[in-house]
Amino acid sequence: MSGMDDWLTRPAGPLCGRLRVPGDKSISHRAMMLGALSDGVCRVSGFLEGEDTLATAAAFRAMGVRIEADGPGRRIVHGVGIDGLRAPGAPIDCGNAGTGMRLLAGLLAGQRFDSVLTGDESLSKRPMRRVTEPLARMGARIDTGDGGRPPLRVYGGQHLRGGDFELPVASAQVKSALLLAGLYARGTTTVREPHPTRDYTERMLASLGWPIEFSPGFARLDGGHRLRAADLAVPSDFSSAAFFLVAASIVPGSELVLEAVGMNPRRTGLLDALRLMGASIVELNRREEGGEPVADLRVCHAPLHGIEVPVALVPDMIDEFPALFVAATQASGVTVVRGAAELRVKESDRIAVMAEGLRSMGARIDETPDGAVIHGGTRLNGGEVTAHHDHRIAMSFVVAGQVAATTVRIHGCSTVATSFPGFPALASGCGMGLAAEA
Ligand code: S3P
């Protein structure tokens, strides 16, 4: 069903059970990239079998890296060393993945060969100058398509040099692109962020033995070292767990346990926001897996109230706003989101698309340039919405459908497989009303 483009939801009774969502998308991309550049064999577990991360694995196979699948979520990456990649015979198709394309732009800028990066319709509309411009300051040569958009043509054989970058937007993708180029640069590459973002590139480089200094909002490394191989365990993706956290919070009588969810503080902003709204979410069995904090999360239905989402939380929940918008429609009072203009350049314009869909279901939402004002306490109607081929929008509308008065037909759901291929089965398994369109 996840391959079908239209989904139909029906209102749900209480959600219950225990479930484990798939591996983290951000970490899975990086495991393929850094595993490929290491000296030796990296065994990866918990790898996300999603289209985005499969595209990244295929990119490295095309550049001569042997990657074997020895079970679901398991990969054996035979690293070729920092200078061992070969020219791909054809353009590299990054699919829907902004992370894949932007990080690869940095990594490929340091190679001896030329390469071309392409993407699907949604990725082809996304801004790339945010990476190509700072990379050019390191000596990279990258051509973009019209308006700074994909495809990217990356010229090899350039002599990169380090630099000190103060980023204008809080973006882990931009930071990571610069750090990956920095592996190949002469001298020191320093990145400073306006707000700290996820630090998976820094952590994984350190765990593979590359000398790196980092703290929230800051990272610095020198070129010219090597990566040693190590086993990499990928925790469950907090962003995938988010849909279940919101669904169980708003469907009366629900109680769900989400197992082994990645709890990196740069990812869990939604937890803080939902708790400020009155949600009942308890962390059980907090522990470390693969160098990342994880916990089982028990979420029970609770009455929510509107909040002003603290701007400092925005980067830590940047992918979770579509789900938060749904929660806000069910909260009493008003929820205000500000400082989140980045939502307009994700897989879709997530402010516009959520406002359009939820409004058509009867919600009251005022869009602002960098956020929205959501008037809660709405009994949503059923109807028809479109996810604009954005995976997180589709799953958020599924959650909204659970509390709607009647069925909701959602167009454009096939991209859910980019980040969460098993979503329909897990969602139905815990009691959500979800089926392929009749
Ligand atoms: C990601 C960073 C974020 C996030 C994306 C994954 C990453 O993007 O939205 O889903 O893996 O580095 P930005 O860097 O554009 O904020």
What is the mean pLDDT of each successive set of 10 residues along the chain, which is 438 residues long?
A: 81 95 98 98 98 98 98 98 98 98 98 98 96 98 98 98 97 98 98 97 97 98 98 97 98 98 97 98 94 96 98 98 98 98 97 98 98 97 96 98 98 95 96 81
Mind listing the pLDDT tens digit for each residue in 87-134? Answer: 999 999 999 999 999 999 999 999 999 999 999 999 999 999 999 999
The pLDDT value given to residue 61: 98
> Other C-beta atoms within 10 Å of 175: how many?
30
The alpha carbon of 23 and the centre of ligand 1 are apart by a number of angstroms equal to 15
The pLDDT value given to residue 321: 98
The alpha carbon of 37 and the centre of ligand 1 are apart by a number of angstroms equal to 22
Exposed e or buried b per residue across 37-48, where buried means at least 16 C-beta atoms within 10 angstroms of its C-beta: bbeeebbbbbbb
Choice from 53, 130, 171 to test ligand 1 binding pocket (greatest atom count within 8 A of CB): 171
Q: In what order do the strands lie in the sheet with 141-143?
A: 92-93, 115-118, 152-155, 141-143
Task: Using the atom order of ligand 1, give the atom closest to the CA of residue 174.
Answer: 14
Q: Please name the residue ranges forming H helices in 316-417.
A: 321-330, 350-360, 391-402
- Sign of CA pseudo-dihedral 119, 125, 128, 130: negative
Task: Using the atom order of ligand 1, give the atom closest to the CA of residue 170.
Answer: 16
The pLDDT value given to residue 437: 59
The pLDDT value given to residue 290: 80
The pLDDT value given to residue 49: 98
The whole-angstrom separation of Cα 128 and Cα 123 is 10
Residue nearest atom 5 in ligand 1 by C-alpha distance = 99
> Other C-beta atoms within 10 Å of 216: how many?
12
Task: Using the atom order of ligand 1, give the atom closest to the CA of residue 239.
Answer: 10
Nearest to 396 by CA among 293, 322, 314: 322
The pLDDT value given to residue 4: 76
Task: Please give the sequence-ordered ranges of beta strands (E in DSSP) within 351-432, or none if there are none.
Answer: 364-368, 371-375, 383-386, 408-411
Please tell me what DSSP assigns to residue 167.
-
The pLDDT value given to residue 44: 98
Residue nearest atom 11 in ligand 1 by C-alpha distance = 26
Is the full-model pTM beyond 0.95?
yes
Mind listing the pLDDT tens digit for each residue in 213-240? Answer: 999 999 999 999 999 999 999 999 999 9
- Token readout for 51 is 């289209």
Question: Ligand 1: residues within 6 Å at CB?
Answer: 26, 99, 171-173, 176, 198, 318-319, 342
Nearest to 234 by CA among 211, 203, 209: 203
The pLDDT value given to residue 438: 42
Q: Which are the contacts of 215, defined by CB distance < 8 A and separation ≥ 6?
A: none
How far is Cα of residue 22 from the mean position of the Cα atoms in its chain? 12
The alpha carbon of 393 and the centre of ligand 1 are apart by a number of angstroms equal to 16
